[in-house]
A and B are shown apart, each in its own frame.
Chain A
Amino acid sequence: MTLVAPGRARAGIRVKSRDRPPWLIQPLYLLPAFFLLLVFFVVPALTTIGISFTDWQLGSSSIDFIGLENYRELFTDEVYRKSLINTLKLDLFVVPVSFFLALGLALAINGLNRFQGFWQTVYFLPVTTTLVAMAQVWSWILHPQFGMVAQLFKLFGLTPINWLNDQSVVLYTIGFISIWQLVGYYTVLFIAGLLNVPKDLYEAALIDGARSPWDKFCHVTWPMLGPTSLFIFIITIIKSSQIFDTVKVLTQGGPNNASEILLYTLYSEGFEFFRTGLASAIATLFFAIMLLLTLYQMRVFEKYVHYR
C-alpha cells in the first residue's frame, strides 16, 4: 500500500475503498450471510419463542400473553406427555441400534477384499430415496393381510402382526423404517473414519502382541474412531428426533396416540388445529432438548475422544 499511495497522492486520485482499514471492510463481507441468517433463522426462532408465551392462533387477529400456560399444558395434558415419552422411547430404540448396526456394517464392509463398493451402494441406496414414497411401499410390505411380511409369517405358521396398528409395536415399526433409511449413511461415515486409521498402528499393535481382532478393535480401531463416533452419535440423535414423514403417511399418530411424537404433534397442533401458540411451545421445548443433549454429549465425550 505504501508503495502505491505516494503516486496516487501526486495524481490526486481519491483513496479507494479497498484501502480502507480492515476493521471497517471485513464486517461488510459478513453482512450478506448475516442478513440471511437473521431473516431465516434468528428472527423466526426468537419469534417462535415469543409466540410460545401467547395464545395466538394462525390467522387470528387477537393475541394475548399467557405466560407459561402453554408449557403447563404440555406437561400436564396426557396426549402431549405421551408424545414426549414416545419421542424419547423412539430415540432410545433408534439411536443405539442404528449406531452399532452401522459400526458393524462398516467393519464388515471394510474387512472385505472385494465388492466393497457394491455393498456400500446397497446399504446407501435407501438414503437416496424419498421417504414419503418409501413409507407407502413399507405400508404394503407390512400390510397385516396381504403384505410380504404377513405372508412370510403365515408360511412359518405364525400369526401375522399388525405392524402399524398394534399399540405396542407401531413405534418400533416407525423406528425400524427410519433405521432402514439412514443406517447406510452412518455406515459410509464410519467407513470413511476407518480408512483414516493409519495402517502403521495396526502393524505396531500386531507386533506388540494384539493378535485377536477383538484386541485390535479395542486398542486401535475404537479409540481411533472417536471423533467419527461422536459425530455419528450426535447425528443419529438429531435424525431420530426428526422422524416425521413416516408417522404422517402411515399412522397419523395412531393408534390411540401410540405413535404420537413431538414433531408430529407440533405439526398437527400448528397446521391442523392452528393453535400456533402451543405449537411454538412444542418447537421451543424441542429446540431446548436438542441443544442440551448435544452440549452434554460434547462435554462428556470430549474427554474420551482423541483428535489427532
Chain B
Amino acid sequence: MANLELKGISKYFGASQALSNIYLTVEDGEFVSLVGPSGCGKTTLLRIIAGLETASEGDVVIAGQIVNELDPAQRNVAMVFQSYALYPHKSVFENIAFPLRMQAPWFTRIPIISHLFKARRMLEAHLQERVPQTADLMHLGELLKRKPRQLSGGQRQRVALARAMVRSPQLFLMDEPLSNLDAKLRADMRAEIIELRRRLGGTFIYVTHDQSEAMTMSDRVVLMHESRIQQIGAPSELYDNPANLFVAEFIGNPKINTLTVQSSTAGELHGFGNHLQGVPEHIDGVAVPVREALSLCLRPEALRLLPTQARDAFTGRIHILENLGNEFLVIVHPIGEVENSGGDTTKPMKLVARVAATVGRLLHTGDTVHLQPDWSQALLFNQDGFRLHQATTAVLEEVRV
C-alpha cells in the first residue's frame, strides 16, 4: 500500500494532446475512480501510472519516490486489464503464480535443473501455500487446474484479480475491468471488489466510463473530459455540487435536466415555453442575472408533480412514461412550438421527473402536467457551462492548483 501523487502530467501523441497538466493526490488506502467519456485520457493516465506509457511532462510519485524512470515491475503496481490478459497456455494456478515466479531469482526459472537449487524448492513450497490462499479469496479454489479458455467471463475476471493481488502490490490499477461482463455479473463483481477491498485494504485507481460504477465504488471520483480533470470529489460532492455543466450532465442517471432559461425581471423566468413567476430571486446561491441566457439544471428528483397549476411550475405534456417498478420516469415535452432561446435546437427540449409508482400509475401519455422545481436543489450555469455559484471558482481553483 502506498500513496500516489501526479504532478503536472501531460501527454502528447504527436501533435494531439491526450493529457493536460494533471495534478492528483491519492491517499494511502483510498479508492479513486477515473471516469469520463471515451477519449478523455483516463486510460492513458492509468497507463502512465503503471509505467506502460511515459508522460511527456510531469512526475509520477509512488510512496514518495519519483518513479518516472522505473519500469512497471519495479514500480510494484498490479494492473487488471479490460481483456483480462490471462496467459492462455497457463493453468489458473500458474497464471496466479506468475508474478511470484518472476520476482524470484532468475536461476529458479531454468527448466528441470533449477529443482536442484534450494531457492526453487522453497519457491514451489511458497507457491503451494500462497496461490491457493489467494485463489480461495476469489472463490477459485476448485478451478486451479483449469485453463483460462475453460472459464466463464466472471471466473476469468477473478483470476485476473487474483493475479493482481497475489504479490501485495503498492497500487491496484484497474482498466475498465468489468466492461466485458454482462449487466448482472457486473453488479455482482462490483460488490465483490468493494468487499475484497474492505477486507484487504489497498490503494485502488479504477478507470471506468460508467459513472454509476464510479459513484458506487469509490471514495473519490476524478471526472475527466477533453484531457483535463473537470472535478475531483466524493461521489455525493460531484452529484450535488458539480463544478460545471459537463460534470452535472455526466453524473447521474437519468441525466440531469438542462433548460435554457432567461429572466426578464427578478422573480420571473422564461423557458420550456413557460413564463414562470414567483421564482426565488436567489437560485443556487446567486442572484439570478437578468436578461442573460442561463442553463438551469434540475435533477429528476428535484421536480415535483403538482395536481394544479402553480405560478412557478413548468407546464408540459407527458411524452413517455417509463415504469421502473418502484417508481416512474415521466418524460415531459413542452406544449406547442417552443423557441429555443440560444440553445441547441436539434435536441428536443424535455424534462424528466421521478415520481412514486403510486402516482405514476394514475398518469397517461398525453396528459398535461405541472412540474414544480425544488428551487433549493436547482443549479445555474452560464452559457460557457461554468457554475454561477461562488463556490465554483474555489472548486476549480482546487482542481487546477
Contact = CB atoms under 8 A, between A and B. Distances in A.
A205 B73 CA distance: 9
A204 B103 contact: no
Interface of A: 198, 200-201, 203-211, 215, 219-220, 223-224, 226, 306, 308
A219 B88 contact: no
Interface stretch (B27-35, B77-85, B273-281, B339-347): B77-85
A165 B109 CA distance: 48
Contacts of B99: 208-209
Contact of B85 (A203, A215, A226): A203
Given A200-B81, A203-B81, A308-B149, A208 B98 contact: yes
Interface of B: 50-52, 71-73, 77-79, 81, 83, 85-90, 98-99, 102-103, 109, 147, 149, 163
Max count, chain B CB within 10 A of own CB: residue among A205, A215, A224:
A205
A62 to B, nearest CB: 60
B89 A207 contact: no
| 8 tightest Cβ-Cβ pairs between the two chains A and B | A209-B102, A204-B85, A200-B85, A223-B89, A209-B73, A208-B99, A306-B89, A207-B72
A45 B122 CA distance: 60
Given A203-B52, A204-B81, A308-B149, A210 B87 contact: no
Contacts of B71: 206, 211
B149 to A, nearest CB: 7
Nearest to A204: B85
B14 to A, nearest CB: 15
B176 to A, nearest CB: 12
Nearest to B149: A308
Contact of B73 (A208, A219, A306): A208
Given A207-B72, A224-B88, 9 more contacts: A205-B98, A207-B51, A208-B99, A209-B102, A211-B71, A211-B73, A223-B90, A306-B147, A308-B88
A207 B50 contact: yes
A306 B85 contact: no
A93 B361 CA distance: 83
Contact of B52 (A206, A220, A306): A206
A205 B72 CA distance: 10
Nearest to B99: A208
Given A206-B73, A207-B50, A220 B87 contact: yes
Given A198-B83, A308-B149, A219 B78 contact: no
Contacts of A205: 87, 98
Given A200-B81, A215-B102, A219-B98, A206 B72 contact: yes
A212 to B, nearest CB: 8
Nearest to A304: B89
Nearest to A220: B87
A220 B87 CA distance: 7
A223 B77 contact: no
A208 B102 contact: yes
Max count, chain A CB within 10 A of own CB: residue among B52, B71, B102, B147:
B102
B79 A207 contact: yes
Contacts of A203: 52, 72, 79, 81, 85
A201 B87 contact: yes
A211 B70 CA distance: 11
A200 B88 contact: no
Contacts of B83: 198, 200
Contacts of A219: 87, 98
B102 A210 contact: yes
B394 to A, nearest CB: 38
Contact of A209 (B81, B103, B149): B103
Contacts of A198: 83, 85
A201 B73 contact: no
Contacts of A200: 81, 83, 85
A223 B87 CA distance: 9
A201 B163 CA distance: 13
26 contacts: A198-B85, A200-B85, A203-B72, A203-B85, A204-B81, A204-B85, A204-B87, A205-B87, A206-B71, A206-B73, A207-B51, A207-B73, A207-B77, A208-B102, A209-B102, A209-B103, A210-B102, A211-B71, A211-B102, A215-B102, A219-B98, A223-B89, A224-B88, A306-B147, A308-B88, A308-B149
Contact of B89 (A204, A208, A224): A224
A223 B94 CA distance: 14
A201 B85 contact: yes
A33 B278 CA distance: 86
